[in-house]
Amino acid sequence: MGAVPPAVVVCGVLLVLAGLAGVAAAFPTYLVVGGEELREVRGVGGALVALLVPAVHLAMGASLARRAVPKLGLAYAAVAGALAVGQLLIEIYRGSSSTARPGVEVVAGELVLTSGVQRGAGWVLGVAALGLTVVAGVVAMAAWGRTVMDDRGALEPVRSLLAGAAVLLGVAAVLCLALPAAEVPDEVRTDPVTGLETVVTREGPQALLERPGLALLGGLLLAGALLLCSVVAPSLRPRLGAVGGLLAVTVAVLSAGLVGLRDAVTSDELVWTVPGAGLVVVGLAMLGLALFAWRTRRSPDVTGTTSGIGSS
Alpha-carbon span 257 to 203, nearest angstrom: 21
Strand 271-272 and strand 182-183: the pairing is antiparallel
Q: What is the DSSP string of 78-147?
A: HHHHHHHHHHHHHHHHHT---TTS-SEEEETTEEEETT-EEE-HHHHHHHHHHHHHHHHHHHHHHHHTT-
In the three-class reduction of DSSP (H, G, I as helix; E, B as strand; rest coil), residue 249 is classed as helix
Residue 201 maps to a domain: no
For the stretch 90-146, pLDDT in tens is: 999 888 876 566 666 777 767 676 777 888 899 999 999 999 999 999 999 999 988
**Distance in angstroms (rounded) separating the CA atoms of residues 130 and 143:** 20
Residue 235 lies in a domain: yes
Residue 199 resides in a domain: no
In a domain, 200, yes or no: no
Q: Is residue 95 part of a domain?
A: yes
Can you tell me the distance from the alpha carbon of 10 to that of 140, in angstroms, rounded to the nearest whole number?
A: 9
Is 136 among the domain residues?
yes
Q: Is residue 195 part of a domain?
A: no
Report helix angle 70-94 to 239-266, nearest 10: 30
Q: Are strands 117-119 and 271-272 parallel, antiparallel or unpaired?
A: unpaired
Question: Among residues 176, 139, 130, 149, which one has the least CA distance to residue 285?
Answer: 176
Full pLDDT tens readout for the chain, 312 residues: 778 889 999 999 999 999 999 999 988 988 888 777 888 888 888 889 999 999 999 999 999 999 989 999 999 999 999 999 999 999 998 888 765 666 667 777 676 767 778 888 999 999 999 999 999 999 999 999 888 888 887 888 888 999 999 999 999 999 999 888 878 776 666 667 666 766 555 666 777 777 778 888 999 999 999 999 999 999 998 899 999 999 999 999 999 999 988 888 887 778 888 999 999 999 999 999 999 999 887 544 433 443 333 332
Neighbours of 118 (CB within 10 A): 14
Residue 105 lies in a domain: yes
What distances in angstroms separate CA 145 from CA 17, 198, 256, one per listed residue?
Answer: 24, 62, 31
Task: Decide the pairing of beta strands 104-107 and 306-310.
Answer: unpaired
- Among left, alpha and beta (phi > 0; psi -120 to 50; other), residue 308 is left
- Reported as a single tens digit per residue, the pLDDT across 259-290 is 988 888 887 778 888 999 999 999 999 999 99
pLDDT at 268: 77
Question: How many folded domains does the chain comprise?
Answer: 1
Residue 116: which domain range?
6-190+206-310
Residue 28: count of CB within 10 angstroms of its CB: 17
Cβ atoms of 221 and 85 closer than 8 Å: yes
- In this prediction the pTM is 0.87
H/E stretch holding 38 reads: strand 36-39
| Residues 247 and 59: beta-carbon distance below 8 Å | no
